[in-house]
């Protein structure tokens, strides 16, 4: 009986694998470039026009901001930067009302579009794991209202609506095929996934292998989380081999969505990064590790890689973050995720400048492409 049970579990996972691997071929072709998170919790940051110059010099064409700062939206007009704007968490109870959502979009988005290439709106950030649990109930109504406002204004074909989620929404993530959502969020999560599926919008995940390593450095291989050469791990139910944790985390999300009945939604990484400095108990937060993580991730993106579960789709990734932000609360690491210091000098050399120079002289498209589109064989 036990042998039969194991065989049944194995067959179910094989079916999941087959279904999920081929579900990616239904995706629409997306825009292609690596993104970066442009946070503003600092009192000494460069003005937006200087930031635009920095992004342009690095050949980066995607950025995500955590509000709708009018200075940024104005400064980025008539540039090639595609922006994800954000409805801040505290605004969810307001914009869940359709009229308020229409007013918000009319005030914060429409005046700047299309001169400023706003391609997405994130309604809240990590709502499911926010300290204010009342926000969860507002999330889907707010998303639907914002999308309806875009439809009413004729902007829905150009601007998608989603929300960024912490990896903590998962009950299980190891092995990836065991990926599942926590029971306490599964109800609202199903509603969110229904919306994303019906509108063709992506599921955004903030995924940080650093946290897993920090919490258990004796059991988790540093090379595995840094994308260095390592034996990796094999999912015992799918036989898929993983040589880095980020891809395993992304695939765990794909499996979790499939188990709720949604196997074709694209997963994008809205945040990932590594701190260059931390407190004494923040193991691994060093300049060397931060440089290695981000440099290796860039190399993977340049190779047009997908995850083991969806190898034919490049994974869209937004690095966290552009700048070190001195006003962020929490441990020291929170203020040291930036690739650059507030004055625009490099916090460490991740190799972006060299890649930018290469892309400007090469006939091939090597501008840090990382969209979840089919990869040519």
Q: Which residues are catalytic?
A: 126, 271
Three-state DSSP class for residue 266: coil
Phi, psi of 101 (to 5 degrees): -65, -40
Report how far apart, in Å, the C-alpha atoms of 105 and of each of 166, 255, 276 are. 25, 34, 37
Q: How many CB atoms lie within 10 A of CB 191?
A: 15
d(CA 183, CA 31): 34
Q: Are strands 267-272 and 317-319 parallel, antiparallel or unpaired?
A: parallel
Closest CA to 92 of 101, 84, 83: 101
H or E element at residue 357: helix 352-361
d(CA 57, CA 336): 22
Inter-axis angle of helices 2-23 and 245-259, to 10 degrees?
A: 100
Cis check: omega of the bond before 114, within 30 degrees of 0: yes
d(CA 5, CA 84): 46
Question: And the tokens for 51?
Answer: 């930031």
């Amino acid at each position: 009986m036990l042998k039969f049970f194991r065989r049944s579990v194995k067959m179910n996972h094989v079916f999941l694998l087959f279904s999920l691997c081929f579900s990616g071929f239904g995706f629409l072709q997306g825009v292609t470039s690596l993104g970066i998170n442009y946070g503003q919790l600092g009192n000494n940051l460069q003005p937006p026009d200087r930031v635009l110059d920095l992004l342009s010099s690095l050949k980066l064409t995607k950025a995500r901001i955590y509000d709708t700062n009018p200075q940024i939206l104005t400064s980025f007009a008539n540039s090639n930067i595609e922006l994800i704007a954000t409805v801040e968490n505290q605004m969810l109870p307001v914009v869940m009302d359709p009229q308020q959502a229409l007013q918000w979009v009319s005030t914060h988005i429409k005046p700047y579009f299309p001169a400023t290439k706003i391609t997405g709106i994130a309604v809240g950030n990590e709502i499911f794991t926010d300290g204010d649990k009342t926000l969860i109930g507002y999330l889907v109504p707010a998303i639907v209202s914002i999308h309806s406002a875009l439809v009413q204004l004729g902007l829905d074909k150009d601007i998608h609506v989603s929300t960024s989620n912490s990896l903590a929404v998962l009950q299980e993530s190891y092995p990836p095929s065991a990926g599942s959502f926590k029971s306490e969020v599964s109800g609202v999560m199903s509603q969110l996934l229904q919306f994303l599926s019906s509108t063709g919008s992506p599921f955004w995940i903030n995924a940080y292998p650093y946290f897993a390593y920090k919490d258990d450095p004796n059991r988790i291989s540093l090379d595995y989380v840094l994308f260095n050469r390592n034996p990796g791990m094999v999912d015992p139910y799918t036989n898929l081999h993983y040589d880095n944790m980020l891809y395993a985390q992304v695939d765990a999300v794909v499996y979790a969505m499939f188990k709720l009945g949604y196997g074709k939604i694209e997963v994008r990484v809205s945040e990932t990064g590594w701190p260059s400095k931390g407190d004494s108990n923040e193991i691994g937060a060093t300049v060397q590790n931060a440089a290695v993580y981000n440099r290796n991730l860039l190399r993977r993106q340049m190779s047009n890689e997908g995850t083991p579960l969806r190898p034919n789709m490049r994974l869209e990734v937004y690095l966290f973050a552009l700048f070190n932000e001195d006003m962020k609360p929490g441990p020291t690491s929170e203020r040291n995720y930036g690739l650059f210091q507030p004055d625009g000098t490099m916090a460490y050399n991740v190799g972006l400048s060299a890649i930018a120079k290469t892309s400007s002289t090469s006939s091939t498209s090597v501008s840090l492409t990382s969209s979840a589109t089919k990869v040519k064989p």
